[in-house]
Amino acid sequence: MNFEYKKSLGQNFLKDESIINIISNSISTKQNDLIVEIGPGQGALTKKLVNKNCDILCFEIDKRLEKYLSNINSNKLKVVYEDFLKVKLNNYISKKYNRIFFVGNLPYYITTAIINKIINESTSYEIVIMIQKEVADRYMAKCGNKIYGSISVFLQYNFDIKKVCDVSKKCFIPVPKVDSKVIKLIKKENKKLADNEELFYKLVKDSFKQKRKTIKNNLKNYNLELIEKELLKYNKSLNSRAEEISVEEFVNISNILNSQWNCEFLFFYNCRWILF
């Protein structure tokens, strides 16, 4: 097709039919559900999604792609030619839907912002995204792994994360420089909540501030005596690094701190959480 791909929009379109089928089959919907596709491109995946028994809502920033997407004939499909990050989802998503499935091939530089938006503006959802392999590995990394970081903790606190499939760079046009991976993020409905999530997120962020430094060095402004007491329960110490501490352990540490700290100190952030 005679189409000028824009690198600035992260336009690497999936062409491999088997991968497209795997992604489509990973989304199990019912009649009162909604699929939101972010960046449908020329509609390779969209054509599969419209065969499901639910409505499809697509957000595409590039109006040039209308000539491709308009050829998909389905009364269940609606395409909005706007920047997903700038729209208010409540203006487009009705409360009549039981569950919302977000799906898309996301450029690495806006992946975090898109996940943030979904968390802050919607409920009862799953996310199926194709992202750079190294980024996906970081999201899924467990404590003790060198690539385990604050983003790993934040996402695993909110989601169960599963690998759907690996995707070779040869499956795209134009061919990108890196391989990709499709992952599914399922919102945790019964997670062990931190008593104060603002404190939890700040604790995690500060713990990983300088990854090569110990908890003792990164958390100098915290009550180290309380933190050490909690770490000892897991055979860890203030000399441990953040990458050695699990999500559940971070939750427990933040709860201990929250029970002791004066609430006047808890001014960290507003109610919308921030990954970085």
Tens of pLDDT, residue by residue over 91-101, are 999 888 999 99
Res 250: pLDDT? 97
Give the predicted TM-score (pTM) of the model: 0.86
Architecture of the domain made up of 197-265: Orthogonal Bundle (1.10)
* Res 77 pLDDT > 90: yes
CA distance 23 to 172: 15
In the chain, where the domains are located = 7-187, 197-265
* Res 61 pLDDT > 60: yes
Banded pLDDT at 228 (limits 50, 70, 90): very high
Q: Mean pLDDT across the stretch 177-199?
A: 89
The percent of residues in the chain predicted with pLDDT above 70, rounded, is: 91
* Res 272 pLDDT > 50: no
Options 1.10.1200.10, 2.40.440.10, 3.40.50.720, 3.40.50.150; CATH for 7-187 is 3.40.50.150
